[in-house]
A and B are shown apart, each in its own frame.
Chain A
Amino acid sequence: MRQELTLRGNTAVLTRANPLAKFAAVMLITMVLALSIDWVSASVALAFELALLPLAGLTVRLLWQRGWPLILAAALGGWSTTILAPDGGAILFDARIWSISEGSLELGLGFMLRGLAIALPAVLLMSCTDPTDLADALAQKAKLPHRFVLGTLAAMRLVGLMAEEWQTIGMARRARGVGSHGNPLQRLRATLGQSFGLLVQAVRRASRLAVTMEARGFGGDARTWARKSVFSGLDVWVFLGGLLIAGAAVAAALAAGTWNMVFLSRQ
């Protein structure tokens, strides 16, 4: 039940890379894909990313388990673009404002693939990166303020705890006669009440955790790091890999003539 924030059991090669290098590679790919809505650059990036799954210790099945909300969102985004985008080319289906044309289909497909190609590296990154190591790298290598980074990290632990708390509060409220039965309005009210209960508990827990951290000397200006975040040769390859995927995506789209900068989008 409890969300594990460690990577026990995952020994894939990308788990050994510095989180910051992985982060940079992901940013490169994401930025390039954000520039153009076209299916060629997105498909090329997506193909590379799927090939990288084993390096992150992922299988297609695990990918679906962890990333299904993102995958569904991408598919939905693609679909709505297809039916709502301005038409171009032959009309394939028409129901007044909802219509599908060759142009809108291409745009929709590009949108969906782009969504997937942008979402996948994030899922990859989180699957092979321990949040503690990411925090170490962000504070030590990227020089982000350690108070912010470590505070966020500690708060993330509470998120897993809150999932359990939600279940308990749900049961405790049923035992008071607040059911999740009835019409949608009653259900909504029950859920709002339960959310409020969770919020109260979250605030209490958070303030106690803050006391714990402060009592352990947290909040000073200087600190040392027991875990030193280091770069290795692997990180060069990770960064070059990101560069390669981003470059290949742009080159393929330019060669196929589908490169379509969002900022200069046709109407």
Chain B
Amino acid sequence: MPAFNTSASSVRPAAVTARGWGWRHAGRPRPAVSGLDLDIRPGERVLLLGPSGAGKSTLLHALAGVLGDSSAGGGDLAPGGSAEDADETGSLLIDGAPPRSRRGRSGLVQQDPETQVVLSRLGDDVAFGAENLSVPPAEIWSRVAEALDDVGLGQLPLDHPTSALSGGQKQRLALAGILAMRPGLILLDEPTANLDPAGVLEVRDAVGRCLEKTGATLVVVEHRVAVWKDLVDRIVVLQPGSATDSAVLIDGPPDQVLAQARDMLTAAGVWVPGYVPATRVRGARSAGPASAAGPAGQLLLAAEGLAVSRERPRRAGLRGGFRPVPPEPVQAGITARVRAGEALTITGPNGSGKSTFALTLAGLLAPVSGRVSATLELSAGAGIDPYRWKAQQLIARIGTVFQEPEHQFVTGRVLDELMFGPRHLGRGGDRVDELLERLRLTELVDANPYTLSGGEKRRLSVATVLAAHPRVLVLDEPTFGQDASTWAELASFLSELLDDGTAVVSVTHDAEFSEVLGGTELSLRAPGHRGRELPERGKVKAP
């Protein structure tokens, strides 16, 4: 029986050594990482930066031991496909041994909160990793309690359903699940990219507390340097793989790296602290011909006393005469005006129904009560209620860009994707070339939309919706997880659209973004049953 640590403070931090390490995913012509030489001392905290395609995630997956390992022969779960023709060069070691042979020495938190949860009950989920490492059951529950306290979830009962947690809470739960394994190396792959600002701080602070306590080594990949700068003591910048150059571009203490390579980092789209990318100024005349969108300020769409919910009305039973029973609204009494050439920004905490309101305004969800009405200017004969419009009538009037671009892809090729709307409307693709050019998609016309990078997917999803010429554009968190370059492009592009007379409605937490767009802000309050979705920072129980 191996001896188990009884206290988290006795975790032995792990060392990482890479010597000429490289990895090529199965079926890819070029390696994701090549020629990596890197030493991370036990207890060091490293922020990994670099443009997309530099292999940051690949390195993290390799350290977590979940990349198909050609020598170990396993790897059927590798994200890149089968291990058979994946290719590894050089060596990558944790404490002098391959990561795959050191199960439990490292713990990984990924980006998508939904897939970080394994089991349905809070306590069971935290226990999962420790169980897999064959920790004795009695020891597991004390580790679970300690880990939940450390991430600030100790106030919730152990049988709390994990599906009821907010995004930030799910990421902290994932962190707790790792802490219960007592790893010497904590790996975070963009853990806060999908979270609102409050969630970002919750997770960052939880990570900070855990590192203070355990002294474990940290490797974190994240675009937003400001969030992690004070927590790490070293920044390593990677560059895309090539045969001759080293994979590490710059390596050093945060302040030094940020001073030395500021321009290079901003050019690569990294969010360097204190840097807001230059964007087009509203009101500057665009180069293109004046749009036919009509005079600015004209009322297009109005919401009156609107109550919203994602749930559909239920049918009352036999005794209720099968009448529809309206669902409980997440937000009620919303009044808003959407005008041509003006921006409307919707803000508010998690769970306040921002996205639900935007989708209702966009004619995609039926109001619970109150109403959304289109003016004659917008409806042009299609009727007053956007929810009752046919899909084709809708896209020519109101365009909606979803938070997850993949949800909106309907073809297998970028050009078809752009032509889809115009074709269905029986129009030519007059605007398509302009959009391709403007959103830098010209090179990608034959690519499969699913294979694009995050920034390219975002640009494509905006372009596809605009190809149908809507007068109103609704965007749900368009800047989530985007690098600074895509951010600036998007903000400039939207400011141009506004000046051309399109109305832009955006749900966003991003104050700088709404500043570029100008216009009015609609701030939704937290729902009546407050508490669950709110961050619980500062409520950590003393151990």
Contact = CB atoms under 8 A, between A and B. Distances in A.
B425 A197 contact: no
Interface stretch (B201-209, B286-294, B392-400): B392-400
Interface string B352-394: 0000000100101100000000000000000000000011101
B112 A208 contact: yes
B178 interface: yes
Contact of A179 (B116, B135, B177, B390): B390
A167 B402 CA distance: 13
Contact of A213 (B61, B118, B407): B118
Contacts of A171: 359, 364-365, 400, 402
A173 B108 CA distance: 34
B137 A173 contact: no
A106 B106 CA distance: 65
A5 B177 CA distance: 20
A6 B161 contact: yes
A160 B119 CA distance: 12
B104 interface: yes
Interface string A122-145: 000000001110000000000000
Interface string A166-195: 011101111111111100000000000100
A1 interface: yes
Most chain B CB inside 10 Å of its own CB: which residue of A208, A216, A222, A223:
A216
A108 B369 CA distance: 47
B130 A226 contact: yes
B57 to A, nearest CB: 10
A5 B127 contact: no
A153 interface: yes
Nearest to A217: B132
The size bracket of the interface on A is: 35 or more
Interface string A195-231: 0010011001101111111111111101111111000
A225 B124 CA distance: 10
B484 interface: no
Given A153-B119, A172-B402, A216-B177, A178 B131 contact: no
Given A5-B120, A8-B161, A177 B394 contact: yes
B10 interface: no
A161 B112 CA distance: 13
Most chain B CB inside 10 Å of its own CB: which residue of A1, A176, A178:
A176
A175 B79 contact: no
Interface in B76-135: 77, 79, 103-104, 106-108, 110, 112, 114-121, 123-124, 127-135
A177 B420 contact: yes
B468 interface: yes
A154 B394 contact: no
A139 to B, nearest CB: 11
Nearest to B425: A177
B300 interface: no
A67 to B, nearest CB: 15
Contacts of B79: 207-208, 211
A2 interface: yes
Contacts of B402: 168, 171-172, 175
A208 to B, nearest CB: 4
B77 A211 contact: yes
Contacts of B465: 175-176
A1 B392 contact: no
B434 interface: no
A212 B394 contact: no
Contacts of B116: 212
A223 B163 contact: no
Interface string B43-81: 000000000000000000100111000000000010100
B11 to A, nearest CB: 16
A94 interface: no
Interface string B397-416: 00111101011111000000
A204 B79 CA distance: 9
Interface string A26-56: 0000000000000000000000000000000
B110 A216 contact: no
B509 interface: no
B19 interface: no
B414 to A, nearest CB: 14
B136 interface: yes
Cβ-closest 7 pairs across A and B: A179-B391, A217-B132, A216-B129, A172-B407, A208-B115, A175-B400, A226-B127
Interface of B: 61, 64-66, 77, 79, 103-104, 106-108, 110, 112, 114-121, 123-124, 127-137, 140-141, 144, 159, 161, 163, 174, 177-178, 181, 310-311, 317, 359, 362, 364-365, 390-392, 394-395, 399-402, 404, 406-410, 420-421, 424-425, 450, 464-465, 468
18 contacts: A1-B310, A132-B121, A157-B119, A157-B163, A172-B404, A173-B410, A177-B425, A197-B406, A197-B409, A210-B77, A211-B108, A212-B108, A214-B65, A215-B64, A216-B177, A216-B181, A223-B134, A225-B131
